[in-house]
Amino acid sequence: MTDRSSTIIMKLCASDGEKVGLEDAGKLLISLQDLAWHTGSFLEGQPFSEGGRLKKLILDNYCLQIKSMRSGSVVVEVEPAIQHGQSELDSFQKFLPPGPRVITKITDLIEAVEGDDGRDLEDVIPDFAYRSRLLLDVLNLHPKRPGYTLYFEGQGDRVFKMDSSNRSRIEELVLQRKKQTGEEIRLGLLADLRVDPEKVMKIERIGEKFQAFYPSELEANARELLGHPIKVTGRAERFSGSPKIKNFYVDKIEPFESYALEEFEIDSHHFMPKKPIEITVEYDDGLWILSLPYIDAVGYSNDYYEAEDLLHDYLEELWSEYVTCPEEELGETGKLLREMLLDLFEVN
């Protein structure tokens, strides 16, 4: 006997006189499969883009089947496959979420999107990337044909009616997520470039390594930048519950040759640039070199952030040596450097 608390039942009903066919049932199965996969991945802390064998193993833990087809409706169910005698998958069992957890989470998600109780979607799926992905999955479940209605029955006998009247609301939520996913800028070293089977560049980010996917029109420019510091602009996809980047989808790639110095604090001094100051960036045989050439300030290290800190240290030393000391103790070169520093910075 099937435990109904561990089962999702979806009944797709057509308008009067229409027949729900095998194609409709198949599409519903595929959409439900994606929803089960992504929800299982979320619960296990896996990146939702993970595919291949892991995707199959997660899905193998469920039984998705067409239970009945009549002239005006089709019923699709998903439940833990262990109820159908499927043996455990030993080597990957740690990746497989228990069926009831996924059924409960899917039901909570549908309730937040379709229900009238005002349940907060962010409480159900706190991770931004998964929230966006699962909203798309729910949108794909929605009937696209006029007059079709989908009845969802999940954990706890919770039942929701999914029809065109609520589809526009979900579309708005999806659009909001897209707008909130703004462009980000990442700095790093272009370490590798692969064109097969996908357009993928390997970037050794300052402090973190990650992959970036890029359109073919950027390939020529990317090849010219191999081994050089780069600045990439695009959208990041992160691991669930972590700021760590899984993939980065590039819109723009350019040399990272300089950047505008921002205010910084060191010891008891707070340095604020009075005008735009460009810091020159170089990378040579594993060494990051950051410099302000016209006052001979430089910081270098095999770690970018350490090189930046050393540059700040150097500027603080110059300030202490040439600005805070009595002017009459300086020679002509020292007085010139003092004027330049006073012209560049306000220090508190």
Last residue of a domain, one of 137, 153, 180: 180
What residues make up the domain containing 243? 184-255
Residue 6: the pLDDT is: 58
In this predicted structure, the answer to whether residue 330 has a pLDDT above a threshold of 80 is yes
- Give the total number of structural domains in the chain: 3
- State whether 146 and 68 are in the same domain: yes
- State whether 166 and 203 are in the same domain: no
pLDDT tens-digit map of 314-324: 999 999 999 98
Residue 155 burial (10 A CB sphere; 0-12, 13-18, 19+): buried
Residue 291: the pLDDT is: 95
Last residue of a domain, one of 180, 215, 232: 180
- State whether 44 and 141 are in the same domain: yes
pLDDT tens-digit map of 240-263: 656 677 777 888 888 989 988 999
Please state which of the ranges 103-107, 132-136, 264-268 shows the lowest mean pLDDT.
Answer: 132-136
**Which CATH number does the domain housing residue 206 bear?**
2.40.50.140
How far the first Cα of the chain sits from its last, in Å, is: 76
- State whether 226 and 149 are in the same domain: no
DSSP 332: H
- State whether 123 and 145 are in the same domain: yes
- State whether 238 and 268 are in the same domain: no
- State whether 231 and 263 are in the same domain: no
Last residue of a domain, one of 207, 229, 255: 255
pLDDT tens-digit map of 86-109: 443 333 333 333 457 778 888 899
Q: What is the pTM (predicted TM-score) of this model?
A: 0.47
37 neighbors 58 (Cβ within 8 angstroms): yes
Residue 272: the pLDDT is: 93
- State whether 242 and 298 are in the same domain: no
Q: Which residues contact 87 (CB under 8 A, 6 or more apart)?
A: none
Name the average pLDDT for the chain.
Answer: 75
Distance CA 256, CA 280 (A): 9
